[in-house]
């Protein structure tokens, strides 16, 4: 079964392997397969589920709501997000304005079939809205009982610090950040993690398998596998491109004996690696088939010794993205419409 960790400086526990439905529900797989996979996640001990209103233009929330219908609500931790454009993409259908946030939380709750979410997250930083306005809206959403805690995604260290201070001034808790993090993408380690540790903010990391590259199935000098994320122009192809360089794929192949020595599959090694970071509360995983989760959850509770961690660093030398300055490029300077 899956272990639990506290989310930030709060009393909320989440399953350290959390189910995310970014590129699957409402797009990659049909609803019946998606529901079957969510049920497999529950059977495996995963109780924490992450989605966003923008995923499949709100359809992913609807599918997750259907999949969780009939479950004891108090036994689940449901997360969603707001920022990116949804609906007809009108002038106010995007961003972190009070108008968009208030309308978005109501839409999300309806689609998810719940009265509240455990965590409501700002999907990116909104440079066009005063931060005070955003946090006043967050505070009102919490006071109305529509969200229990608040979080953000891909904010810089300075943005986290400013947001944390405003949250405190409004009497609410900013307890999480959701960044990309994997053996290959380590840009949060320089500034984000130290700042978060100081402030009592946890990381809920997405793409711990580097869009599937750390599974080892993408081979140097070979065409990408048919039906893989790299062939899906609507979802993951854009995100995976930077990891498909020959030197990265060659480095990933050097991880195979390390995984074998640890008695792990390559996906298990990738997920176990991010969970070695004490500031990481949860690794987000997705699945298009129920059987994928049976392998994934075995990474929970795995402890990689110092020799294994050092061997991983040696194998990936020259293939890792670790420049903290990359964290300043992740929120659009103007709203996407």
Q: Name the residues annotated as catalytic.
A: 55
- In degrees, rounded to 5, the angle at the alpha carbon of residue 279 between the alpha carbons of residues 238 and 184 is 35
In angstroms, the Cα distances linking 201 to 59, 151, 232, 238, 275 are 29, 9, 33, 29, 15
In angstroms, the Cα distances linking 142 to 13, 294, 302 are 18, 35, 35
Distance CA 152, CA 96 (A): 11
Pairing of strands 17-20, 48-50: parallel
In angstroms, the Cα distances linking 193 to 55, 183, 323 are 27, 15, 13
Of the candidates 71, 73, 34, 33, the residue with the CA atom closest to the CA atom of residue 51: 34
Distance CA 113, CA 191 (A): 38
86 C-beta neighbours (distance < 10 Å), count: 22
Angle between helices 131-143 and 98-112 (to 10 degrees): 40
Of the candidates 91, 177, 172, 174, the residue with the CA atom closest to the CA atom of residue 129: 91
- Cα 290 to chain centroid distance, Å, stands at 19
CA atoms within 13 A on the CB side of 247: 8
């Amino acid at each position: 079964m899956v272990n639990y960790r506290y989310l930030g400086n709060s009393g909320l526990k989440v399953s350290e392997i959390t189910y995310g439905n970014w590129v699957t529900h409402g797009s990659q797989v049909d609803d019946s397969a998606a529901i079957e996979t969510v049920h497999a996640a529950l059977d495996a001990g995963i109780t924490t589920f992450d989605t966003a209103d923008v995923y499949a233009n709100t359809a992913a929330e609807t599918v997750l709501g259907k999949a969780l219908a009939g479950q004891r609500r108090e036994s689940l931790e449901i997360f969603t997000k707001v920022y990116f454009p949804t609906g007809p993409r009108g002038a106010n259908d995007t961003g972190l304005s009070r108008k968009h946030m208030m309308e978005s939380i109501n839409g999300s709750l309806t689609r998810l079939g719940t009265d509240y979410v455990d965590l409501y997250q700002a999907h990116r930083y909104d440079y066009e809205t005063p931060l005070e306005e955003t946090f006043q809206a967050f505070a009102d959403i919490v006071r109305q009982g529509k969200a229990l805690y608040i979080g953000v995604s891909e904010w810089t260290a300075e943005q986290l610090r400013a947001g944390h201070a405003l949250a405190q001034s409004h009497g609410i808790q900013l307890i999480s950040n959701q960044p990309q993090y994997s053996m290959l993408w380590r840009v949060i380690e320089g500034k984000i993690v130290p700042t978060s540790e100081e402030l009592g903010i946890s990381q809920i990391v997405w793409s711990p398998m580097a869009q599937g590259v750390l599974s080892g199935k993408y081979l140097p000098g070979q065409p990408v596998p048919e039906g893989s994320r790299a062939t899906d122009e609507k979802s993951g192809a854009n995100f995976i491109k930077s990891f498909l360089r020959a030197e990265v794929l060659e480095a990933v192949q050097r991880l195979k004996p390390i995984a074998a020595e640890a008695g792990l599959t390559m996906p298990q090694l990738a997920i176990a690696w991010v969970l070695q970071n004490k500031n990481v509360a949860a690794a987000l995983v997705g699945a298009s088939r129920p059987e994928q989760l049976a392998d994934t959850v075995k990474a929970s509770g795995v402890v990689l010794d110092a020799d294994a961690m050092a061997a991983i660093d040696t194998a990936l030398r020259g293939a890792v993205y670790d420049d903290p300055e990359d964290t300043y490029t992740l929120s659009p300077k103007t709203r996407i419409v």
